[in-house]
Structure 1
Amino acid sequence: MKFSDLKLINPLLKALEKAGFDTPTQVQEKVIPLALEGNDILATAQTGSGKTLAFCLPMLQRFCLANVEREQAGEKPKRLIKALIIAPTRELCVQIGETFAPYCTNTNLKYSVIFGGVNDFHQKKAIEKGLDILIATPGRLEDLISQGVIKLSYVEVLVLDEADRMLDLGFLSDVKKIVKRIGKARQSMLFSATMPSEIRKLANDILNNPKEISVDKVNTPTNNITQELFNVKNSFKRHVLQYLVKKKEFDSIIVFVRTGEDTQFVTEYVKSVGVKAENIFKGKSQNARQKAIKSLKSGEIKVLVATDIASRGLDISDLSCVINYNIPNVSEDYIHRIGRTARAGKKGIAYSICNETDKANLEKIEKLIGYKIPVSTDENYKNEVIPTVKILGYSDFKEDFKKETKTKKKVFKHDYDKIDTKTKKVELKDKKQKLSSKEVYTKFKASKPRGKTKKR
């Protein structure tokens, strides 16, 4: 089947052709015809299945045709929020916006993306100018509604994307409040990678006689991802990581770790072997996170080290590889992590590095997906020579570094002469100490300054 067989209007077909799309993915083939008929949709689809276009195209066609009818009747179409798309993370909202952009241009429709973590001035201005489609995270959306900036009385189409992730992040109560503000005479679509009981109940509450669609087996990674497992001692984890990131056949890699502190360690590990890398974690500002993501997309860096903040909503076309440096504690996160590769029907590979402490989490993942992850027979990682990288923490990398140095001034002052908050470089009081280019200090000494000896 081709997109031309789905009864889409010419402006959308031209935009698809320009983007190089001619064949719909499985979820697009199933959802688009039903959504064009105005049905409510309950879809279970993995990340990377192309679901954004599945709800984007029918929505834009609906509004474009309605505007044409108004113009023919001599009316001027008004820019009111006619569609609301709620997504759990900033990254996913941005990705959805990027997907909408070329299709909105061809249909003369406007969209805007709003999310927390940044100043809301420009977001408010975009809303005041008028728009047709609003893409938002629950927190910022609720905030602007309470300020009277956003009114949802004209919403005709509601989309909840990655509903299970909203459940994980504790957004369901906010979502329910928001949905109550929207009239019941609407088309609603809910997309989720998994279908826990809470999401099923939410679907029952907000959807009207929905058409249910399931693409691939629930809780199973797409078949386009080759999975391999490295069972190693903890002392060999860095060897495996170093061996994989140096592979020339990989142009872009995401390495997943558990904590923000881990992102700093692993980033320095990767850089120490001459591979360009950046990281994203919850403590980083939105601008810094977007800059790191753009660097990976443009090829400026090869490796992005991330916590699970990036396991959903991060769409990087042709991502070569995903590496789980730590096995995730939540089994479903494994599916979402490796789903960053093999997007929209493409091929990808996912490696997981497992030590003794990760065994229990690995067993839970294999129980969830229904099979054992193949163990790699490649032992060339044992030949890797590990550079010296002295890493003790990540305090100096935090966005609020200046605040931290102020609050801990008494602690740090005795250890160092000068702290450069921009380059994060440190001048030691002991000038005789020489740092080799391979040594990286990432945390200041935490010992208390010695006080003066009291005279007896």
Structure 2
Amino acid sequence: MKDPYLTSFSELGLAEPILKALAEANHTTPTPIQEQAVPLVLAGHDLIGIAQTGTGKTAAFALPILNHLVTERRRPERRATRALVLSPTRELSGQILESFRLYGKHVRPSTALAIGGVPLGRQARSIAGGVDVLVATPGRLVDLMENGAVRLDQVEVFVLDEADQMLDMGFIHAIRAIVAKLPAKRRNLFFSATMPREIEKLADALLTNPVRVAVTPVAKTADKIEQKVFLTDRSGKPDLLVEVLGHAGLDRALVFSRTKHGADRIVKGLAVAGIASEAIHGNKSQPQRERALAAFREGKVKVLVATDIAARGIDVPGVSHVVNYDLPNVPESYVHRIGRTARAGAEGIAISFCDGEERAFLRDIERLIRLTIPSEDRRGESRGRSEPRESAPRDHRAPRSPQAPRAPREGDRSSRPFQRGPRPEYRGGEERGEPRAVRPDAQRHDSHRVEGHRQEGLRERPRLDAARPEAPRHEGARFDESRGPRKSFRPAR
């Protein structure tokens, strides 16, 4: 029986300009997904490709599309595209476009990128003359469609990459709006690491007699990734992260946070600990995200803190460690996160922090990957050398012993990398967990706030009792006449 791993690209039936570009890029042997998918797409079949991240899915659809452009050369019409590739994130879209340019070095297709964070007019001008390949995120493509900047009635090949993440990110309605503008006669290619039922339903509605290719079990982690879980308290995560990142064998580390604000807090805490890092998430502008990725790729910073926006498609060589600071609440995301390491046959380490509220997430992950992840109990270490305090009634607390650690104070954050305690929640820019003691200058401070609003032209509501002396109140503030004037200002929600 023929060994599938010994097949060369020359046996796949690709055009000579593409083979020449592959040879110059030192790509000689196709991966399993490429070997199975490329001939089927060249034969004109619709395809569903399932393979875990890092196995070469991009080349599996880019190579046959380039071959189609070589064999059937024609000039695209104005504002039209011959091949449309949708991906969930800006970074993945940029990498897909680079792959088309790399493999199409001697084909020279006209290409365009349509992603958020970039002026819409600039992208509209890049498509105005028509392009061979358009790589886009769903939201920005819908914007271009609504502004009449792009036509989809000439699309010959439609690719939906990372289809399951599209569903997780809520792009299903945008995808349906895009598909409604595509011509009935076209080739459809769906590629994903997992294939949930919702995506299967979408594929059944859009694809015509598709061929299914699955080269790895669904949600199987890479064999060369060493996985470990630290059972810890939420307050113990910051110090534990500093300890992990101080490991001598760490080359580059990708740290995942569940929220955008959490990623920013991690970066600030690491800076206090003397560890340089960058953050990448949806609140960052496109230039900021590109600069952070460039610094990480070039080794200027060894730590990149990200949300799940970077869980797929961010191919950075040399990522030795992936740290799940927060466990994902979607178990499939765990597979994609740790897939950022151990790429191209290398080895990697995946470390996860699990507090008490995340135990259910850990069980779901282990059930999905069918593996019990080795764990180490590190709970209680965040309290230092002192014993845990017993709970007492709020009004009858025992005084703290001199040996017990004092509560953190303003300006005292330099003693440790992160402020401990419950995770803050925000309301109007202030933390709910902050003490609400009345400051001596509260009356003057409130008056200053209202005066500032008057200067901006806002009208103050008439007082209920002109004879009663009280501090000016913000319009819309809650007022209980029986309790008298409030001494602290708190705007109504």
| Fold similarity call, TM over 0.5 | yes
> Helix, strand or coil for the counterpart of 1:343?
coil
Contact 1:104 1:110 in 2 (8 A): no
Structure 2, unmatched stretches of 5+, are 1-6, 386-413, 430-444, 450-485
1:388 pairs with one of 389, 413, 416: 416
Contact 2:229 2:374 in 1 (8 A): yes
C-alpha distance in 1, partners of 2:35/2:373? 30
Higher RCO (C-alpha 8 Å, min separation 6): 1
CA shift, 1:231, in A, is 2.1
C-alpha distance in 2, partners of 1:376/1:26? 36
Q: Against the structure 1 CA distance between its residues 172 and 344, is the aligned structure 2 distance closer, same or farther, given a 3 Å change threshold?
A: farther
Contact 1:273 1:387 in 2 (8 A): no
Quote the residue 1:20 is aligned against. Answer: 26
User: Is 1:33 matched up with 2:39?
Assistant: yes
CA shift, 1:391, in A, is 4.7
RMSD between aligned residues: 2.9
Contact 2:341 2:348 in 1 (8 A): yes
CA shift, 1:365, in A, is 0.7
C-alpha distance in 1, partners of 2:376/2:107? 49
> Which range moves more in the overlay, 337-346 or 91-100?
337-346
Q: What are the within-5 Å matches in structure 2 for residues 262-411 of structure 1?
A: 262-375=262-375, 387-389=415-417, 391=419
User: Counterpart of 1:143 in structure 2: which amino acid?
Assistant: D
Quote the residue 2:93 is aligned against. Answer: 93
CA shift, 1:222, in A, is 2.2
Q: Against the structure 1 CA distance between its residues 293 and 207, is the aligned structure 2 distance closer, same or farther, given a 3 Å change threshold?
A: same
C-alpha distance in 2, partners of 1:390/1:375? 24
Quote the residue 2:72 is aligned against. Answer: 66
> Helix, strand or coil for the counterpart of 1:267?
helix
Greater Rg over alpha carbons, structure: 2
CA shift, 1:197, in A, is 1.4
Quote the residue 2:222 is aligned against. Answer: 222
> Helix, strand or coil for the counterpart of 1:8?
coil
TM-score when scaled to structure 1?
0.80
User: Counterpart of 1:98 in structure 2: which amino acid?
Assistant: E
C-alpha distance in 2, partners of 1:176/1:78? 24
Quote the residue 2:50 is aligned against. Answer: 44
| Residue-by-residue CA offset, 1:400-432 (whole Å, 9 max, x unaligned) | xxxxxxxxxx88x99xxxxxxxxxxxxxxxxxx
C-alpha distance in 2, partners of 1:59/1:214? 20
Q: Against the structure 1 CA distance between its residues 376 and 32, is the aligned structure 2 distance closer, same or farther, given a 3 Å change threshold?
A: farther
User: Counterpart of 2:188 in structure 1: which amino acid?
Assistant: S
TM-score when scaled to structure 2?
0.74
Structure 1, unmatched stretches of 5+, are 71-75, 399-409, 415-447, 452-456
The number of residues matched between the two structures is 396
User: Counterpart of 1:131 in structure 2: which amino acid?
Assistant: V
User: Is 1:8 matched up with 2:14?
Assistant: yes
C-alpha distance in 1, partners of 2:425/2:24? 45
C-alpha distance in 2, partners of 1:210/1:389? 53
Contact 1:231 1:354 in 2 (8 A): yes
| Residue-by-residue CA offset, 1:13-62 (whole Å, 9 max, x unaligned) | 22222222222112111111111111110111222121001000010011
| Residue-by-residue CA offset, 1:317-339 (whole Å, 9 max, x unaligned) | 23222100111111111111112
- After TM superposition, the runs of 4+ consecutive aligned structure 1 residues lying more than 3 A away are 76-80, 233-236, 376-379, 384-387, 389-395, 448-451
C-alpha distance in 2, partners of 1:263/1:183? 42
Quote the residue 2:390 is aligned against. Answer: none
Contact 1:264 1:394 in 2 (8 A): no
| Residue-by-residue CA offset, 1:275-333 (whole Å, 9 max, x unaligned) | 32011222221221121111111111100111112112322123222100111111111
C-alpha distance in 2, partners of 1:218/1:309? 21
Contact 1:221 1:339 in 2 (8 A): yes
> Helix, strand or coil for the counterpart of 1:82?
strand
User: Counterpart of 1:41 in structure 2: which amino acid?
Assistant: L
C-alpha distance in 1, partners of 2:38/2:99? 16
User: Counterpart of 1:388 in structure 2: which amino acid?
Assistant: R
Q: Against the structure 1 CA distance between its residues 210 and 321, is the aligned structure 2 distance closer, same or farther, given a 3 Å change threshold?
A: same
Contact 1:253 1:319 in 2 (8 A): yes
CA shift, 1:377, in A, is 9.5
> Helix, strand or coil for the counterpart of 1:108?
coil
C-alpha distance in 1, partners of 2:72/2:104? 14
C-alpha distance in 2, partners of 1:239/1:450? 36
> Which range moves more in the overlay, 39-48 or 335-344?
335-344
C-alpha distance in 1, partners of 2:19/2:357? 51
C-alpha distance in 2, partners of 1:2/1:369? 32
Quote the residue 2:476 is aligned against. Answer: none
Quote the residue 2:456 is aligned against. Answer: none
Q: Structure 1 vs Structure 2: percent identity of aligned residues? A: 41
Quote the residue 2:464 is aligned against. Answer: none
C-alpha distance in 2, partners of 1:55/1:120? 27
Contact 2:239 2:417 in 1 (8 A): no
Contact 1:265 1:391 in 2 (8 A): no
Quote the residue 1:231 is aligned against. Answer: 231
Q: Against the structure 1 CA distance between its residues 387 and 197, is the aligned structure 2 distance closer, same or farther, given a 3 Å change threshold?
A: same
Quote the residue 1:426 is aligned against. Answer: none
